[in-house]
Amino acid sequence: MRNKLSKIQLWFSRRNFLKFSLSISGALTLWGIARFLSFRDPRTPTTRIVLDVPDAYALGSVTPVPQVRAWLIRDDEGLYALSSVCTHLGCLVNFLNNQFECPCHGSKFDLNGNVLNGPALRPLEFVELKLSPENHVELDTNKRVSSSDRLVVNE
């Protein structure tokens, strides 16, 4: 007469063993594939650029900085920079008739980045401006700043 199978032996039937190993190996494979797909190319577009001295930008001037997708603007209070990436779907805005206009879907923004006309809902982003050690304007589109920040120009 055969011995009675223990609980563990019962659980480790051939079927359960196969089910167990298949699900483990399946899960590990999926994990591997997910890891494989998660790689992101580390080469990123430049976000930082050193420009001219602050005095070079006249009052009321709007200067394109296409290398880092931004606009450099000077008003009464000083210099500031707006990202040129439209907040609707990421197209780059043009400067036409004293306002920024998106060529893709027609959003319009004023000189302070505020939405004048949809479909964009959020204003253009203000990005960081500071003085480099050589007293040049340094722009970094990776860093957002408040819309009241200005780089004061001393003439």
3-state secondary structure of 144: strand
Region from 11-19, 37-45, 75-83, 130-138 binding another protein, contact rule CB under 8 A: 37-45
Please tell me the count of residues contacting another protein according to CB under 8 A: 23
* Contact status, residue 101 vs residue 110, Cβ threshold 8 Å: no
Total number of residues shown for the chain: 155
Binding mask 57-96 for another protein (x = CB under 8 A): ---------xx-x------------------xxxxx-x--
Q: Is 121 in the site for another protein (CB under 8 A)?
A: yes
Give 60: exposed, middle or buried? Use CB within 10 Å, 0-12, 13-18, 19+.
Answer: exposed
φ, ψ dihedrals at 19, nearest 5° = -60, -45
Rounded to a whole number of angstroms, the distance between the first and last alpha carbons of the chain is 105
Q: Which is nearer to another protein, 69 or 74 (CB)?
A: 69
Q: Is 38 in the site for another protein (CB under 8 A)?
A: yes
Chain residues that interact with another protein, rule: CB under 8 A: 37-38, 40-41, 43-45, 66-67, 69, 88-92, 94, 103-106, 118-119, 121
